[in-house]
Amino acid sequence: MVTLTSNAPKGELAVPQQAVQRDVQGAFVLVVGDGNVAEQRRVTVTRSAEGYSVIGEGLAEGERVITEGLNKVRPGAVVDAAPPKEG
């Protein structure tokens, strides 16, 4: 189990670093949208620590970010989204 601790203000969003991808336009993540369809979302990473990237802009609390199988997922594809693993 990983416990993320910091002196950061409450309300920051963090995702596992492997979820953040980059291309010539910058950083993005894939989220699970309506109908379990993968969507590309541009994000601003403010910092990284202990295996997590803190997201400054581009995500809202409660959105489902794809963290595994990224090499098989493309925007617009229907995904079989599993809930996050505990512990």
pLDDT digit string, tens, across residues 33-67: 999 999 999 999 999 988 999 999 999 888 999 99
- Is 53 contained in some domain? yes
81 falls within a domain: no
Residue 33 lies in a domain: yes
Q: How many domains would you assign to the chain?
A: 1
Q: Is the pTM here over 0.85, yes or no?
A: no
The reply to whether 48 falls in a domain is yes
For residue 3, is pLDDT > 60? no
Cα radius of gyration (the chain): 13
**Cα 44 to Cα 59: distance, rounded to the nearest angstrom:** 9
In a domain, 36, yes or no: yes
- Give the domain CATH number at 51: 2.40.420.20
For residue 51, being part of any structural domain is answered with yes
Q: The domain containing residue 46 runs over which residues?
A: 13-72
Residue 6 lies in a domain: no
Taking the C-alpha atoms of residue 4 and residue 9, their distance in angstroms, rounded to an integer, is: 13
In a domain, 84, yes or no: no
